[in-house]
Amino acid sequence: MEPAVLESSDDSLKTVSLISYVLHLIVAVSAVVPGAQMGPVLLIVALILDMVKKADAEGTWQASHFKYRIRTVLWAAVGYTVTLPLWFLFLFPGWLAWTAISVWFLYRIVSGMMRWNRSEAMTE
């Protein structure tokens, strides 16, 4: 009976992880495509989902994905916050910095999804 419980728990974590990755992907794509801002609300939902379910994933290969997504969001937030003054001082450097952060965010989410799809832990 125990393996069925673990399998069910693993399926539940996979579903939560997929939902989180899809939400992150929507946000990442909309950050790169001009005029398609879906951003903050979906990102906050995905971040809360990851933070709440992270403990359930401990001891599984998926735990690294929860940590990876949380770190990705936090580092992107730091990057956007640090470069925010560039928008007020010089428009072009601000746009350039935010574009670079958005592309980095998209890259991290896509690479994480690819590893998750192969059931591989993140190596960071």
The boundaries of the domain holding residue 66 are 2-117
d(CA 103, CA 14): 25
End-to-end CA distance of the chain: 34
In a domain, 123, yes or no: no
State pTM to two decimals: 0.85
Q: How far apart are CA 37 and CA 17, in angstroms?
A: 22
CB 101 within 8 Å of CB 123: no
Structurally, the chain folds into a number of domains equal to: 1
Q: Which two tokens stand for residue 10?
A: 């693993």
Residue 30, pLDDT score: 85
| Segment 72-94 mean pLDDT | 89
Q: Which residue has the tokens 């072009």?
A: 92
Closest by CA to 57, choosing from 49, 113, 92, 28, is 49
Is 122 inside a domain boundary? no
Residue 15 lies in a domain: yes
Model confidence at 96: pLDDT above 60: yes
